[in-house]
Structure 1
Amino acid sequence: MKLTPKKIPIKVGSKFIAILNEKTSHKLDLFAGDRIAIFNDGKGKLTAILDITEGKDVKDDQIGLYMESWEKLNVKKGDVITVSIAEKPKSTLYIKEKLEGVELSTEKIDAIINDVVNDDLSEVELAYFVAGAYTKGLSDKETIALTRSIVNHGNTLSFKKGEIIADKHCIGGVPGNRTTMISIPIVACLGIKIPKTSSRAITSPSGTADTMEVLANVENDAKRLMQIVNKVGACITWGGGVDIAAADDKMIRVRHPLSLDPKGMLLASIMAKKFAVGAKYVLIDIPFGQGVKVSNQKQADDLKKDFERIGSLLGMKTKVITTDGSQPIGKGIGPVLEVIDVMKVLKNEPEAPYDLRTKALMMAGLTLEFTGKAKKGQGEKMAEEVLTSGKAYKKFMEIIEAQGKKHTKLEPGAYKFHVVSPCTGDVFSIANKQIAHIARIAGAPKDPSAGVYLYKKVGDRVLKNEPLYTIYAENEDRLNYAKKYLTDIGYDIR
């Protein structure tokens, strides 16, 4: 059927969506959610998901195209669009097989990922693939196939033969914990290249990319990222800007609403990104404890074995550590407040958070040891020498300059509220989720200077009415909103 295109000046995201009038859809026997093939006479073609309108916004001789579809089809004035029914991708059959518990072949997994990248699967269909992996699990064979397919359908980095390329990853869930911004410049000072791609916050007050963005540009394509790493030895950039593991980013968006983390997909998600940047050495940090993604030591140990096994099958030397994730690391929670912590550590200031400094040195030391740059047991000492000499700070500033320095004032939000202890006693525990929740309600990470700054940690003695932490916000409304959630202050004082 030939139709006149009508531009809908709205962007809807990555999917291609088109609108037909109810009369037109009836003629073609089409329903909302069906796929339609759209052609623009040699200028462009695509497969879109159909929406149907009963109103007069799109007439029965028209097809409404959102901006993504309009641009993809390269529509010009006077063009006529050809519309026909599109067949469902074969990958939907493979998704059904996974739901039935079938182990998928490498070819079938590759077909699914190909359709994910090309937006040929609807979010509902992709959600069923995630559900299949969650309920039926992924074998090692499927996990390796998924990892390689994610890598093959995105950008990859390639460094010179013989160079030591390392990377690190933290499973997450611990507020603060900005060890990356300290350990990476330390390691880069000693000749190890680290092309670190990091995530933005989804449910936390800040991701590493959000915190780094206070200081530098974090949106670099693959070519630019290579230039930065070859120039200064490392980068700390947002993974979404590099288009590495693009298929995984789409699956994460589907997994997020129900917090679904099928083990095979979690492993493939992390290892694909490390494989894609050319890392030969990978350090994985699995924090465990109440209120984080991995709740106990047994779960952490099981996941550790999985990472080591998959890493070995991929040909990467993988070292996995399990760490205490029972309380925030550092004092600042929120982009600017976390940067303040990081800079204090790198500048060797006396008031630098001890726990953040200690963990960052441990991470750097382990990387130096298992890449062969330091003898066993000597890595942390070597890392500390680099830090105390000021070389790590200098390297960090080189990374910032190479990525594009920002001149953000490192000051917390202008509106603040002190949360005090209800009694005298010792801090027995700190609820990670509640502290993170308060920081987000205060505006973090969207408002970079918003968040929470902690004064007391587990084991500290505290007096009645002594400040436990301060909430910072960029406006009074946000601060008042955060104060409403203080029926639970997130501290257990005994």
Structure 2
Amino acid sequence: MKLKVKDIDISSGGPLIAVLNHQDAAMLDLHVMDRIKIKKRGKIETVVVDIAESNKVVPKGRIGVFEEVIISLKLKNNDVVDIVIARKPLSIDYIKKKLDGQKLTKNEIDQIVWDIVHNKLSAVELTYFVAACYTNVMTTEETILLTKAMVKHGDVLKLKKYPVIDKHSIGGIPGNRTTLVIVPIMTAAGYHMPKTSSRSITSPAGTADTMEVLADVTFPIKRMKDIVLKTKGCIVWGGSLNLAPADDKIIAVERPLEIDAESQLLASIMAKKHSVSSTHILIDVPVGKDSKVKNIVEALRLKKEFNKIGKRLNKKVRVLITDGTQPIGNGIGPALEARDILWLLKRDPKRPLDLEKKCLMMCSNIFGMIGVKYGYKKTLQILNSGKAYQKMVEIIKAQGGKEVAAEDIKIGRHSYDVSSTRSGIVRHIDNLFVSRIARIAGAPRDKGAGIYLYKHVGDRVKRGEKLFTIYSESMHALDYAKDVAKSNEVFVVG
């Protein structure tokens, strides 16, 4: 069948989708989610079928194509293309197999990942794969195969250096911006640390959002390599690279249901680390009721699995189980967190001591992994000498930024102070409400929005003393954030 292209100017965000008029679909006995091949000028692409019941959307004799198909086949509006019926991807049978609780083979996992990377699966089919792995947990062997397949079907940063250091935090804690301290410390010590980081999904800031206040974070892999060879490290957005790209697509379907299948979490982290040639990997697992990892039993199980996978991939892995019961650092939101980092590296009295303590502990562990004695003392020397700050400035400049004083970083022009209604000791800080208020205020969309904390758990507070300040670029957003802060117990003082 020959049909005329109609560019419907919509992106699916990944899957290759075409829309047929219901009459044309009936002639070919096609149904929603079936597959067709579109042929044009010697190029062929298999796409997922959707069906338009309205002639207005896609008239008979036309085929509506999403932007991904337009780009793949280099189509123009009114191009004539050939349509033939196609088989569904083999990986659909393998997804059904996993739904039935059966173990997948290397070839089956490899095919699923290939289909994910090349947009051969619809969002529904990919969601079933995620759900299958969530309800029928993958074995360690399957998780290792998934990790290797994710790396195989993506780019790899080949450094040919040893050791190559990396770290990852499981997340769920406001602040906790350890990467922006650890990278300059370890690179100032002479080690390579190419760090890819994420943007925020549900938090007030991801590491990439905070680094973006100071420098560019979006680079192709070749430019990333140049930066690392020049400065020994980088802090870049992983989403701009093609490192383990299946992971980003899996995360996109996990997010709405807040599903975090353990096997995919493990594979996701280890694939990203493997793809930047890491040899020594420190994993931070914060534990708390508002964290991704809720209790010590879950944390110990993850630790065991990380160590197993690391051993099989020939990586040295160390897992730290840390306190995830409260925010870490004072600033929550990109610009406020960036100020914290610069104050810490500059040894300013305003620096967040809880974040500093955690970074000292983590760097000490990294030094221990690579066989360096007195790691805590060495870390403190690098910080106090100013070498870590100078290295951070070097990385910032290599990534297109410039040196800036913490006080010159712009924060939200509108603010509101939240004070304690009683005297006592801070017993609890609600991580979820801290994140929610910061996001309602505009973070991370508005870099200067967020929260600045004056107190942490265990601190004494007097009635009327400030607990935190909300910053926003918008009075409307600030009003909404104020309402949430007033109507919920963000700080428990007693």
Normalised by the length of structure 2, the TM-score is: 0.97
Residue 387 of structure 1 pairs with residue 386 of structure 2: no
The CA distance in 2 between the partners of 1:103 and 1:78, in whole Å, is: 47
Q: State the 1:43 CA deviation.
A: 4.2
User: How far 1:44 sits from its partner (Å)?
Assistant: 4.8
State, as a whole percentage, how many aligned pairs show the same letter: 47
- Cross-structure match for 1:38: 38
What CA distance in whole angstroms lies between the structure 1 residues aligned with 2:93 and 2:314?
Answer: 32
8 A contact 2:18–2:47 mirrored in 1: no
Judged with a 3 Å threshold, the aligned counterparts in structure 2 of structure 1 residues 51 and 222 are, in CA distance, closer, same or farther, namely farther
Distance 1:273 1:75 in 2: 34
Residues 3 and 81, structure 2, Cα contact 8 Å, conserved in 1: yes
| Distance in 1 (alpha carbons) for counterparts of 2:410 and 2:18 | 46
Residue 239 of structure 2: aligned partner = 240
Please say if 1:482 is aligned against 2:481. yes
Q: Which residue in the other structure is 1:456 paired with?
A: 455
- 2: CA distance, partners of 1:10 / 1:139: 39
User: Which stretch has the larger CA shift, 116-125 or 57-66?
Assistant: 57-66
User: In the aligned structure 2, how far is the partner of 1:108 from the partner of 1:66?
Assistant: 28
Shift of 1:68: 2.1
Provide the secondary structure at the position in 2 that maps to 1:47.
strand
Query: What residue identity is the alignment partner of 1:91?
Result: S
- Whole-angstrom distance in 2 between the partners of 1:5 and 1:407: 51
- For 1:41, give the aligned amino acid: R
1:311-363: CA deviation from partner (whole Å, max 9, x where unpaired)? 11111000111111111111000000000000000001012111111111211
Q: How far did 1:77 drift?
A: 6.7
* Superimposed CA distance per residue, residues 118-149 of structure 1 (whole angstroms, 9 cap, x where no aligned partner): 11111111111111111111001100000000
- Residues 38 and 48, structure 1, Cα contact 8 Å, conserved in 2: no
**Quick one: which amino acid aligns to residue 181 of structure 1?**
L
Alignment CA distance shift 1:190-1:49 (3 Å)? farther
- Note the C-alpha offset of 1:12: 3.1
Q: Which moved more, 1:174-183 or 1:359-368?
A: 359-368
In 1, Cα distance between equivalents of 2:386 and 2:150: 39
Question: Is 1:430–1:492's contact at 8 Å kept on the other side of the alignment?
Answer: yes
Q: Distance in 2 between matches of 1:30 and 1:44?
A: 19
Instruction: Say whether residues 1:66 and 2:66 are aligned partners.
Output: yes
The one-letter code sitting in structure 1 at the alignment partner of 2:194 is P
Q: Residue 325 of structure 2 corresponds to which residue in structure 1?
A: 326
Where do 5+ consecutive residues of structure 2 fail to align? none
Answer yes or no: is the 8 Å Cα contact 2:33–2:48 preserved in 1. Answer: no
Give the Cα separation in 1 of the matches to 2:211 and 2:248.
20
Partner amino acid for 1:330? G
Alpha-carbon shift at residue 78 of structure 1 (Å): 6.3
Please state how far the C-alpha of 1:65 moved relative to its aligned partner: 1.7
The aligned residue for residue 279 of structure 2 is 280
Residue of structure 2 in register with 1:250 after alignment: 249
1:339 is paired with a residue of what secondary structure?
Answer: helix
Distance in 1 between the 2:434 and 2:217 partners? 26
Q: Give 1:321's aligned amino acid.
A: L
Please state if 1:423 is matched with 2:419: no
Cα deviation, residue 262, structure 1:
1.4
Which residue of structure 1 aligns with residue 400 of structure 2? 404
Letter paired with 2:188: C
Q: Which AA in structure 2 matches 1:281?
A: H
State the partner residue of 1:205.
204
Could you say which residue in structure 1 is the equivalent of 2:469? 470
Instruction: Report whether the alignment pairs 1:154 with 2:154.
Output: yes
Aligned counterpart, 1:190: 189
Q: Does the 8 Å CA contact 1:217/1:406 hold for their aligned counterparts?
A: no
Give 5+ residue unaligned stretches, structure 1: none
Q: Distance in 2 between matches of 1:332 and 1:76?
A: 49
Q: Which amino acid aligns with 1:153?
A: H
Cα shift readout 1:146-182 (whole Å, capped 9, x = no counterpart): 000000001101112x521110000011111111101
* SS class of match (2:320): strand
Q: Which amino acid aligns with 1:303?
A: L
CA distance in 1, matches of 2:457, 2:319: 25
CA RMSD of aligned residues (A): 1.4
Cα pair 2:244 2:275 within 8 Å, conserved:
yes
Shift of 1:429: 0.7
1:17/1:51 contact within 8 Å kept: no
> Is the contact made by 2:10 and 2:66 (CA closer than 8 Å) also made in structure 1?
yes
Question: What does residue range 257-406 of structure 1 map to in structure 2 within 5 Å?
Answer: 257-372=256-371, 374-375=372-373, 378-405=374-401
SS at match of 1:270: helix
Moved more, 397-406 or 120-129: 397-406
User: Quick one: distance in 2 between partners of 1:437 and 1:83?
Assistant: 48
The worse-fitting range, judged by mean Cα deviation, of 22-31 and 276-285 is 22-31
Encode CA deviations 1:208-233: one digit per residue, 9 max, x unaligned. 01111111111111111111101100
SS at match of 1:183: helix
Aligned pairs for 1:77-116 (under 5 A) are 79-116=79-116
Distance in 1 separating the partners of 2:49 and 2:201? 26
Residue 406 of structure 1 and its aligned partner are, at CA, apart by 6.2
Specify the alignment match of 1:54 in structure 2: 54
Distance in structure 2 (CA, Å) of the matches to 1:483 and 1:79: 54
Name the SS of the counterpart of 2:468 in structure 1.
strand
Q: Deviations over 1:378-427 (max 9, x none)?
A: 10110110111111011001111111116885122011111111211110
